[in-house]
Amino acid sequence: MTASSRNLCGERPRLSEMTTDARVVTSTAEWTVLESKRRGTAYRAGKVLMISVKNLQKRYGDLTAVDDVSFDVEHGEIVGLLGHNGAGKTTVMKVMTGFLEPTKGTISVGGIDVVEDRIGVQRQIGYMPEKAPLYGEMLVQEYLLMMAELRGVPANERLTAVGDAVKATGLTQRLVQPISTLSKGYRQRVALAQAILHKPSVLVLDEPTNGLDPVQILEIRALIRRLAETTTVIISTHILSEIEAVCSRVVILIDGNLAADSSLEDLLSSNIVRLMVADGSSSVQEALAAVEGVESVSETPTNNGKHLYRVRCAPGLDLAARIAQTAHESGWAVSEVRAEVPSLEQVFRDLMAEHVNRARSEETAA
């Protein structure tokens, strides 16, 4: 055991020493706001840009893992970095956290360029890699105290820092338990606790629920949502439900390229209205096409004998009510009329199809 893992009496810290009552704590996020104002490089429309990725490229020899990717993350956002295995998500995170240098482009965190001041960036980031390096022979409290020392937490603040992290991650009852005896869910909690010891302004999580059972996944998601109340969070995952459960915005990578950068609300919005009626005829399509703002009408086969029409509206228009009124005035027997909301899976599948078609077109043209 290292000296830092003992209290002033030379003993292991007691539970009472490692938990603290709720109090006002000044986080590095507040410092980042002031520092960003001073630097003048991390603001957009009056909002703090905690992460700014500009034209990022990372090559490994002839392999381009990430190519010309740009996106920003504002203070307080929970952003999901989504993509298939090998899409470039982990590469972006490793460059962001200073473990890799970019081939081209820049990444800054809180206005600090990761190449120019890697340590300055790492002070602001709490990083939980997909396979966090945990030492199974160490007790939970020993490991966390060691990590607090490595992260530069002052000696007189380490017990408090560990106590706060333990309380936040629900590890109080596991402090004197060897890490090797913990379930995978609790090992993930330990990995998350080490990432927040120094109260970072940005939390970077790489596949945080990978390999967990359903109950453990729900627990980690709830924990991430709690942490996001005071911290900017970016989550890398290939699990669609993970994004929908905890993120407000998504950045999608496909084969190292940026395929989408949007809020979930905008990404899952649709300009298509579904109308299902008992009887179908050409007059139905004509009446729907005559509604102002309708761009096209198509009929989709069904298995229930009814007729389903998909009405594409001009961007920005919500014509569901107007279409319902037209159906009522025409005397149609309507069983359904609603805006069509695509799933994230459908959006991702469509983006993948677009990417494949574009790649094939470029190969043919070449």
pLDDT at 272 over 90: no
Return all residues near 40 (Cβ < 8 A) that are at least 6 apart. Answer: 111
For residues 255 and 28, give the distance between their C-alpha atoms in angstroms, rounded to a whole number.
Answer: 35
pLDDT digits (tens, 9 = 90+) for 2-53: 444 444 334 444 444 444 443 444 444 454 455 444 444 454 545 678 999 9
- Would you call 260 exposed, middle or buried from its count of C-beta atoms within 10 A (0-12, 13-18, 19+)? middle
**pLDDT band, residue 366 (cuts 50/70/90):** low
Letter for the amino acid at 144?
Answer: L
Exposure of 158 in the CB half-sphere (CA atoms within 13 A): 23
pLDDT digits (tens, 9 = 90+) for 225-238: 888 888 899 998 88
The pLDDT score that the predictor gives to residue 4 is 44
The pLDDT score that the predictor gives to residue 65 is 95
pLDDT at 139 over 70: yes
Q: How confident is the model over 85-103, as a mean pLDDT?
A: 92
Identify whether the C-beta of residue 326 lies closer than 8 Å to the C-beta of residue 291: yes
Identify whether the C-beta of residue 225 lies closer than 8 Å to the C-beta of residue 80: no
The pLDDT score that the predictor gives to residue 47 is 67
Question: Among candidates 80, 118, 77, 116, which has minimal Cα distance to 96?
Answer: 118
For residues 112 and 266, give the distance between their C-alpha atoms in angstroms, rounded to a whole number.
Answer: 30
The pLDDT score that the predictor gives to residue 42 is 52
User: Is residue 227 helix, strand or coil?
Assistant: helix
pLDDT digits (tens, 9 = 90+) for 210-229: 777 888 888 888 888 888 88
Q: In this predicted model, which residue has the larger pLDDT, 242 or 9?
A: 242
The pLDDT score that the predictor gives to residue 5 is 45
The pLDDT score that the predictor gives to residue 177 is 95
Letter for the amino acid at 297?
Answer: V
The pLDDT score that the predictor gives to residue 267 is 84
Q: How confident is the model over 280-297, as a mean pLDDT?
A: 87
Here the tokens at position 94 are 């490793």
Domains and CATH numbers, the chain: 3-266 (3.40.50.300), 270-339 (3.30.70.1340)
The H or E element spanning position 47 is: strand 47-60
Q: What are phi and psi of 81, to 5 degrees?
A: -100, 105
pLDDT digits (tens, 9 = 90+) for 144-184: 999 999 988 999 999 999 999 998 888 999 999 999 999 88
Whether the full predicted model's pTM is greater than 0.75, yes or no, is no
**pLDDT band, residue 303 (cuts 50/70/90):** confident
The pLDDT score that the predictor gives to residue 28 is 46
The pLDDT score that the predictor gives to residue 315 is 80
For residues 165 and 189, give the distance between their C-alpha atoms in angstroms, rounded to a whole number.
Answer: 10
pLDDT at 208 over 90: no
Percent of the chain with pLDDT strictly greater than 70: 87
Here the tokens at position 58 are 């990372």
The pLDDT score that the predictor gives to residue 46 is 52
Percent of the chain with pLDDT strictly greater than 90: 43
The pLDDT score that the predictor gives to residue 21 is 41
